[in-house]
Structure 1
Amino acid sequence: MTSRRKFIQGAAAAPVAAAALATPALAQGTIRWRMQTYAGAALAEHVITPAVEAFNKIAGDRMQIELFYADQLVPTGELFQAMQRGTIDAVQSDDDSMASPTDVTVFGGYFPFASRYSLDVPVLFNQYGLNEIWDEEYSALGVKHISAGAWDPCHFATKDPIRSLADLEGKRIFTFPTAGRFMSQFGVIPVSLPWEDIEVAMQTGELDGIAWSGITEDYTVGWADVTNYFLTNNISGAWAGSFFANMERWNELPEDLQTLFRVCCDQSHYYRQWWYWGGEAALRVNGPKLELTTIPDEEWQTVEDAAQEFWEEIAAESDVKRRVVDIIKQYNADMVKAGRPYRYT
């Protein structure tokens, strides 16, 4: 009100006053968002905190984002509903973990063998059409899908060594819903728990292992302290996750703040590309805590072949899922034809 009184003092200030009165009320004070990530505090220091800090520093008193970690405001499985209602303004998660009621949810997180490398994910979204499909699905539900990016590959970290498919039989594993659904055919028993409870569950024997990340996260969040072995065979080459926002909150932002938010999301995606890629290799070579094990290629091929059948099972569930599966199939076929370094056959 003080600013408005100053604006309307004097004839010279009249045009400025008119402009100020025409400005939406939201823009006359600091815009404040609450954002929750799927990640706990230790992991968030890498996968989201730097991007939010950069945004807040640049936006200044125009906009500030308050970041919350896994399950702090709502359980991860309720993130979508909270964002849709406006209880939370923005979310960083994969579709699968936050239980999005869309036909693309099954492809979030680790869709078995959809990717070989982390760069596959942004190419699928930005060059092969997944962005458009995600936009259609989320816009219909009042949520803005802002951008998707890649995280680490999915590996097993376990108490006991896994050197054959038979060793997976009966193992209680914390993993993503779709990955668990797929791996259950090989005897894995998927277990769902709050993210922050995993370390204790490993110590008490409630879990036999974790298939939620690569080795970088195992070390970063403390899981390497409660597991003994790391299986080098992976279920998928990269976790696919996104930034989302409540559609009304997003539309209220001035265009330059929308652009800034997108740029900071892209910076976060870029940071993870090299942090995970370098970390996975460095910790396999130099990490002192986990012994590496491997299932022979010819035996693991059984799992990769089963993924192709799983894709068709998913595709049969809806037209949207068929569109996504067809894109994934076409992309991977193109990579094989492209040869090295895209695919080694």
Structure 2
Amino acid sequence: MVTVTSTAKKVLLLLGTVTLLTTASFSSYAADKVYRLKLAETWGPNFPIFGDATKNMAAMAEKMSNGRLQIRIDSSNKHKAPFGVFDMVKAGQYDMGHSASYYWKGKVPNTLYFTTMPFGMVASEQYAWFYHGGGMALMEEVYSPHNLLSFPGGNTGVQMGGWFQKEINSVDDLNGLKMRIPGFAGEVLAKLGASPTNIAPGELYTALERRTIDALEWVGPGLDLRMGFHKVAPLYYTGWHEPATELQFLFNKRSWDRLPEDLQEILRVAMRTASYDMYIQNAHASAEAWETMLNEYPDIQVKQFPESVLTAMKTANDALLAEHAANDAQAKKILDSQAEYLKKARRWTTISDKAYLNSQQTAE
């Protein structure tokens, strides 16, 4: 039997008190630790809507974390590499990025499917695919080998088909056409004889004005009107190529793994909320800008591509999809998932949204 003296009891009690104080102090320190992250965006400073998404996300994350998350945003004028976001985040130069997945198709071809696809899903269908149809898991499969995580970063909805200086009456008019158009749609037009290119947002107007390009697509009225494209290309075509353009928040995986679980969850919520906010903000801005276009700029001519051109685009698109799927097992997996989900979701979109719009038009 061991007898504990009164002195020993005092020592043990003191040690226990010190241990409790040390544990409590450490826990308090961990809870108060500030994590400072750097984000690089493709857009210029104070760029509307797209740039608002990053600012809203950062503000929400800071508030929900009680100041433990501080995110510094560097626009393209600061880091000088609007299309270098992928590389900078991958290398750890930045913890986060905000851009568009299809910009990286030259580096990692299968990234392009996570922005939007011609003749593909609209925004509600695509968001459902991401969060409930397996899209997030497929995106992680593509990005994780590059030390990256990708999250939806804001949707534009259906984009307009672009600003043209000459009317498109037949497929022959696409031959040799120099157009700023990224992603899979650029491949479709190239197959039909056009010369697609990608240009940084800040250089678009100058390229169109100086006839470096013959046409460009950007987003829709909410952003296009501010850019002034109507001053140098009055023909405004309706969309076919980007029915649900989803931007992305990129995250360096090591930076992500260093964060406590509660802060990771706060970021998930902040990014998801900022993405939806961008979607409705763009819808509002486009509705207002469209009204302005109709009333104040009567010289803008709204056009639809002829049926023969749309048919040729769809044929080229289907052929390219088949080619990509045949040459890459991962691409096939993604494209099959999107096609299967679109088939299922479109049945509901047709009998709900489309039927409602048709009935409203009939009633008028």
TM-score range, shorter chain: 0.7 to 0.9
Which of 192, 195, 198 is 1:192 aligned to?
Answer: 198
Superposed displacement of residue 274, structure 1: 1.9
Q: Please name the residue that 2:138 is paired with.
A: 133
Matched, 1:303 2:313: yes
Matched, 1:171 2:182: no
Q: Please name the residue that 2:250 is paired with.
A: 244
Deviations 1:35-78 (A, max 9, x none): 12222332334333222223234435312101122363152332
Question: Which sections of structure 2, spanning at least 5 residues, go unmatched?
Answer: 1-14, 359-364
Matched, 1:17 2:11: no
Superposed displacement of residue 31, structure 1: 1.5
Superposed displacement of residue 122, structure 1: 0.9
User: 1:78·1:99 contact (CA, 8 Å) conserved in 2?
Assistant: no
Which of 195, 203, 220 is 1:214 aligned to?
Answer: 220
Superposed displacement of residue 13, structure 1: 6.7
Matched, 1:80 2:72: no
Which of 324, 340, 345 is 2:351 aligned to?
Answer: 340
Q: Matched residue pairs, number?
A: 335
What is the alpha-carbon distance in structure 1 between the residues aligned to residue 175 and residue 188 of structure 2? 14
Matched, 1:294 2:307: no
User: 1:159·1:228 contact (CA, 8 Å) conserved in 2?
Assistant: yes
Q: Please name the residue that 1:6 is paired with.
A: none
Mapping of residues 311-326 of structure 1, within 5 Å: 311-326=321-336
User: 1:145·1:242 contact (CA, 8 Å) conserved in 2?
Assistant: yes
Q: Report SS of the residue matched to 1:42.
A: coil
**Counterpart AA for 1:331:** Y
Q: Report SS of the residue matched to 2:305.
A: coil
Q: Report SS of the residue matched to 2:236.
A: strand
User: 1:162·1:293 contact (CA, 8 Å) conserved in 2?
Assistant: no
User: 2:34·2:68 contact (CA, 8 Å) conserved in 1?
Assistant: yes
Q: Please name the residue that 1:95 is paired with.
A: 101
Q: Please name the residue that 2:124 is paired with.
A: 119
User: 1:147·1:262 contact (CA, 8 Å) conserved in 2?
Assistant: no
Deviations 1:75-119 (A, max 9, x none): 23321221111101001222221457445213143422222x221
Question: Which sections of structure 1, spanning at least 5 residues, go unmatched?
Answer: 1-9
State percent identity of aligned pairs.
18
Superposed displacement of residue 165, structure 1: 3.6
Cα distance change, pair 103–127 in 1 and its aligned pair in 2 (3 A): farther
What is the alpha-carbon distance in structure 2 between the residues aligned to residue 69 and residue 230 of structure 1? 29
Q: Which moved more, 1:170-179 or 1:160-169?
A: 160-169
Cα distance change, pair 342–19 in 1 and its aligned pair in 2 (3 A): same
Cα distance change, pair 11–241 in 1 and its aligned pair in 2 (3 A): same
Q: Please name the residue that 2:55 is paired with.
A: 49
The TM-score with structure 1 as length reference comes to 0.85
Superposed displacement of residue 148, structure 1: 5.6
**Counterpart AA for 2:196:** P
Deviations 1:139-163 (A, max 9, x none): 2221122346532434212233445
Q: Which moved more, 1:133-142 or 1:106-115?
A: 106-115
Superposed displacement of residue 300, structure 1: 1.6
Q: Report SS of the residue matched to 1:144.
A: strand
For the pair shown, which has the larger CA radius of gyration, 1 or 2?
A: 2
What is the alpha-carbon distance in structure 2 between the residues aligned to residue 340 and residue 280 of structure 1? 26
**Counterpart AA for 2:331:** K
Deviations 1:226-277 (A, max 9, x none): 4322101321211133212111111111222111111111112211222333
What is the alpha-carbon distance in structure 1 between the residues aligned to residue 52 and residue 265 of structure 2? 22
What is the alpha-carbon distance in structure 2 between the residues aligned to residue 98 and residue 19 of structure 1? 47
Q: Report SS of the residue matched to 1:131.
A: helix
Cα distance change, pair 343–169 in 1 and its aligned pair in 2 (3 A): farther
Which of 205, 209, 212 is 1:203 aligned to?
Answer: 209
User: 1:70·1:196 contact (CA, 8 Å) conserved in 2?
Assistant: no
Superposed displacement of residue 225, structure 1: 4.3
Cα distance change, pair 48–164 in 1 and its aligned pair in 2 (3 A): farther
Q: Please name the residue that 1:228 is paired with.
A: 234
Greater helix content: 2
User: 1:76·1:97 contact (CA, 8 Å) conserved in 2?
Assistant: no
Deviations 1:161-211 (A, max 9, x none): 445444333221112143212211233211233321112212222122212
Q: Report SS of the residue matched to 2:150.
A: strand
Q: RMSD of aligned C-alpha atoms?
A: 3.0
Q: Which moved more, 1:65-74 or 1:130-139?
A: 65-74
Superposed displacement of residue 12, structure 1: 5.6
